[in-house]
């Protein structure tokens, strides 16, 4: 395929001015040097919550602000000592229920200080945390709880109705944060239990390969998969926090991602707190005014966000910017989807900041290919592999291809934060490593002759809408539950703001006729049954959908229809 390469370069900002300096700095890099930072390098026993919170208290930084939380109703801050004590209490609340090491404990709630306290408390007793995005509806929640055999769930009164207790037999404990209108014995009150829980807790010391977190994410086939990470990931969280986020002691850091997604934990919780920096969490919804005022009010210095947000901010115009003092910003980063070169140029012009694109995935656990302080930024490129990470482009046979050739973006395995398994699904895990010694990402990309990587697209049918990863199968399965739907095929349709939106092609059952009301009804059905971000914003009815002889809907053909492209090889089509 023809590659249209752009050679623009924004020079680096800090002391390292060119690639030679950069290469020199990391010439002798090895991960063991990073491990020496942790006490467990000597003791052999670790715990992420200890490294992120308690050790700062022990080191005399207990009074430093760890968390600034705000939304339309609340504004609170917590020191490292307060977070240590409260998470100890919550660890005790869980232990009282007999929950312990290795148990899967899920959190299903909107951002709030309690979410962070609960998450740390879960980790302190060695349980594995499973964060769920608040927009999930009943089916999405149930699938994840069942697959992971979660024993406990922490949620809020608003979301309690989305948990189907009869279909989640392993779920023994539901802890509710907030007042219930009709208190009921089958759930545990967070506030009542916290009131009587001790602040002293014997921490569960773990091995590096003991569990940390499960994030459910989507592939092109099957239900969402549970990407399971272990304690060892902290090595890379810490290191990337240093070289990519460039975190320093007096930073005020804001990652805009929700902990329901991997960015919101690896970089919304672990990396900043491993560095002991003040972490800003802003609840509620996006608006340019709200976000700019968050930066101005808390004097945010390092800001990690996503292309859809930057595109919306760009769309809101530069006049909004002039109403806020954004001069505290020192470093701005982006992740989750392709960052358009014009957005990088706009950021440079308006904030005077280079927006640093970073590439990684739920499976990689931490940043892998990035633009970071110390290297020149090429707008449109994801950057270069982190020290200690080897990335390359491979053809479908597993051979490395020369620069400027498009192929499979592959990473040499293992690395410290690599997923440890796909929960309950060893075959899925093996698929990623089908080329001996390499992790095949599912993204296509090329490398230029200076070792910068350029994202080209997904190889599979996974959809990326506003940086949220959506598996077409999950949406199609939900659509098929609608009484009017006979067949459904779902694709990502290019969109200027969201990157992609979800489009569904649907054939109707006998007796149903297409209408705007029916479209609306189907949209709502997915929105209310699965989640808002998975609902098809566009629906097109078709008499018949293209299928293989084995009955599999050919999304590739749907996509070609949509984009007016040639449909390619149709030899396997049904008729």
Residues 367 to 426 in contact with ligand PRX, rule: CB under 6 A? 382
Residue placing its CB nearer to ligand PRX in the complex, 223 or 469: 469
What does each C-alpha distance from 300 to 6, 254, 264, 303, 347 come to in angstroms? Answer: 32, 7, 17, 7, 16
Which of 336, 385, 416, 489 touches ligand PRX (CB under 6 A)?
A: 336
Name which of residues 553 to 572 contact ligand PRX (CB under 6 A). none
SS3 state of residue 384: strand
For residue 398, with 0-12 CB atoms within 10 Å meaning exposed, 13-18 middle and 19 or more buried, which class applies? Answer: middle
What's the rounded Cα separation, in Å, for the pair 355 and 307? 10
* Site track for ligand PRX across 508-547, x = CB under 6 A: ----------------------------------------
The helix/strand/coil state of 319 is helix
Tell me whether residue 336 or residue 387 sits nearer to ligand PRX (CB atom). Answer: 336
Contact 377, 371 (CB under 8 A): yes
Dihedral (Cα; 148, 532, 445, 497), 10-degree rounding: -160
Q: Is residue 442 a contact point for ligand PRX (CB under 6 A)?
A: yes
Q: How far is the CB of 414 from ligand PRX (least distance, A)?
A: 18
CA dist 356 and 368 (Å) reads: 13
Q: Give me the residue label for tokens 């810490």.
A: 238
Report d(CA 321, CA 313) in Å as an integer: 9
What b/e string do you get for 355-387 counting C-beta neighbours within 10 Å, with b at 16 or more? bbbbbbbbbbbbbbbbbbbbbbbbbbbbbbbbb
Closest CA to 263 of 334, 321, 318: 334
Element (H, E) at 539: strand 538-541
CB 530 within 8 Å of CB 139: yes
> Smaller CB distance to ligand PRX: residue 247 or 382?
382
Q: How far is the CB of 17 from ligand PRX (least distance, A)?
A: 24
Residues in CB range of 513: below 8 A, 6 or more apart: none
Considering the rule CB under 6 A, would residue 114 count as an interface residue with ligand PRX?
no
Least Å distance, CB 443 to ligand PRX, is 5
Minimal CB distance to ligand PRX: which residue?
362
What are the DSSP calls for 89-113, one per residue?
Answer: HHHHHHHHTT--TT-EEEEE--S-H
Could you say which of 136, 360, 453, 523 contacts ligand PRX (CB under 6 A)? Answer: 360
Residue 338 touching ligand PRX (CB under 6 A): yes
Among 118, 122, 234, 361, which residue interacts with ligand PRX (rule: CB under 6 A)?
361
Name the 3-class secondary structure at 371: coil
For the CB of residue 358, give the shortest distance to ligand PRX in the complex, in Å: 6
Site for ligand PRX in 460-489 (CB under 6 A): 464, 469
Interface mask toward ligand PRX for 214-233; x: CB under 6 A:
---x----------------
**How many CB atoms are located within 10 Å of the residue 528 CB?**
14
Rounded to a whole number of angstroms, the minimum distance from the CB of residue 498 to ligand PRX is 13
The correct pick among 299, 458, 547, 556 for binding ligand PRX (CB under 6 A) is 458
What would the x/- binding string for ligand PRX be over residues 287 to 326, using CB under 6 A? ----------------------------------------
Query: Which of the stretches 59-67, 75-83, 89-97, 353-361 binds ligand PRX when contact is defined by CB under 6 A?
Result: 353-361
Alpha-carbon distance 152 to 552, whole Å? Answer: 37
Given the complex with ligand PRX, which of 359 and 439 has the nearer CB atom?
359
- Phi and psi torsions of 493, nearest 5°: -110, 130
Interface stretch with ligand PRX, choices 57-65, 92-100, 332-340, 507-515 (CB under 6 A) = 332-340
Of 237, 212, 197, 193, nearest in space to 417 by CA: 237
**CB of residue 156 vs ligand PRX: minimum separation in angstroms?**
24
Region binding ligand PRX by CB under 6 A among candidate stretches 16-24, 157-165, 423-431, 437-445: 437-445
Distance CA 131, CA 466 (A): 19
CB of 456 vs ligand PRX, minimal distance in Å: 9
Kindly state the DSSP code that residue 12 receives in the 8-state scheme.
P
Cβ neighbours around 87 below 10 Å, total:
26
Alpha-helical runs (H) found in 367-471? 426-432
How many residues touch ligand PRX under the rule CB under 6 A: the total is 21
**Which residue stretch of 95-103, 158-166, 440-448, 511-519 sits at the interface with ligand PRX (rule: CB under 6 A)?**
440-448
Q: Segment near ligand PRX (CB under 6 A), from 12-20, 132-140, 436-444, 543-551?
A: 436-444
Considering the complex, what minimum distance in angstroms separates the CB of residue 370 from ligand PRX?
8
CB nearer to ligand PRX: give 84 or 311.
311
Query: In this structure, are residues 479 and 406 in contact, taking their beta carbons and an 8 Å threshold?
Result: no
Stretch of 56-64, 101-109, 268-276, 356-364 contacting ligand PRX, by CB under 6 A: 356-364
| Shortest distance, position 164 Cβ to ligand PRX, whole Å | 26
Residue whose CB is less far from ligand PRX, 205 or 433: 433
Residues in the site for ligand PRX, rule: CB under 6 A? 217, 262-263, 335-338, 357-362, 382, 441-443, 455, 458, 464, 469
């Amino acid at each position: 395929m023809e590659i249209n390469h752009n050679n623009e370069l924004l020079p680096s900002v800090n002391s390292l001015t060119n690639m030679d300096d950069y290469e020199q700095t990391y010439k002798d890099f090895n991960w063991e040097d990073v491990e020496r930072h942790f006490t467990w390098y000597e003791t052999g026993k670790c715990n992420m919550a200890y490294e992120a919170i308690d050790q700062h208290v022990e080191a005399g930084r207990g009074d430093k602000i760890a968390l600034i939380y705000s939304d339309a109703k609340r504004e609170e801050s917590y020191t490292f000592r307060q977070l240590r004590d409260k998470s100890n209490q919550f660890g005790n609340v869980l232990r009282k229920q007999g929950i312990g090491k290795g148990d899967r404990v899920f959190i299903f709630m909107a951002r709030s200080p309690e979410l962070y306290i609960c998450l740390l408390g879960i980790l302190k007793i060695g349980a594995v945390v499973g964060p769920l995005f608040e927009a999930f509806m009943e089916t999405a929640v149930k699938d994840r709880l069942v697959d992971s055999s979660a024993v406990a769930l922490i949620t809020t009164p608003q979301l309690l109705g989305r948990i189907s207790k009869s279909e989640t037999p392993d779920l023994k404990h539901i802890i509710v944060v907030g007042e219930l209108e009709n208190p009921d014995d089958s759930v545990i009150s967070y506030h009542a239990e916290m009131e009587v829980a001790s602040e002293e807790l014997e921490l569960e010391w773990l091995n590096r390969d003991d569990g940390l977190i499960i994030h459910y994410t989507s592939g092109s086939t099957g239900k969402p998969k549970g990407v399971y990470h272990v304690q060892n990931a902290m090595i890379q969280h810490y290191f990337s926090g240093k070289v990519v986020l460039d975190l320093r002691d007096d930073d005020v850091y804001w990652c805009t991602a929700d902990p329901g997604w991997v960015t919101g934990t690896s970089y919304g919780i672990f990396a900043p707190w491993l560095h002991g920096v003040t972490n800003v969490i802003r609840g509620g919804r996006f608006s340019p005014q709200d976000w700019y005022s968050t930066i101005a009010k808390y004097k945010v210095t390092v800001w990690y966000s996503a292309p859809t947000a930057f595109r919306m901010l760009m769309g809101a115009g530069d006049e909004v910017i002039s109403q806020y003092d954004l001069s505290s910003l020192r470093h701005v980063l982006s992740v989750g989807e392709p960052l358009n070169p014009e957005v990088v140029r706009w950021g440079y012009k308006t904030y005077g900041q280079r927006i640093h694109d970073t590439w990684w995935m739920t499976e990689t656990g931490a940043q892998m290919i990035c633009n970071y302080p110390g290297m020149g930024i090429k707008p449109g490129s994801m950057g270069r592999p982190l020290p200690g990470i080897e990335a390359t482009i491979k053809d479908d046979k597993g051979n490395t291809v020369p620069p400027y050739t498009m192929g499979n973006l592959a990473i040499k395995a293992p690395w410290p934060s690599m997923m440890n398994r796909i929960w309950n699904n060893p075959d899925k895990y093996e698929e990623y490593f089908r080329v001996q010694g390499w992790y095949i990402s599912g993204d296509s990309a090329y490398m230029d002759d200076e070792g910068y990587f350029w994202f080209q697209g997904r190889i599979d049918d996974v959809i990326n809408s506003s940086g949220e990863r959506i598996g077409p199968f999950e949406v199609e399965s939900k659509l098929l539950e609608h009484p009017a739907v006979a067949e459904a095929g779902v694709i990502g349709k290019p969109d200027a703001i969201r990157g992609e939106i979800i489009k569904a092609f649907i054939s109707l059952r006998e007796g149903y006729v297409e209408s705007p009301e029916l479209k609306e009804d189907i949209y709502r059905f997915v929105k209310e049954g699965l989640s808002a971000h998975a609902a098809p914003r566009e629906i097109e009815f078709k008499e018949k959908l293209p299928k293989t002889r084995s009955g599999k809907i050919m999304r590739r053909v749907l996509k070609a229809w949509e984009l007016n492209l040639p449909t390619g090889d149709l030899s396997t089509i049904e008729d």
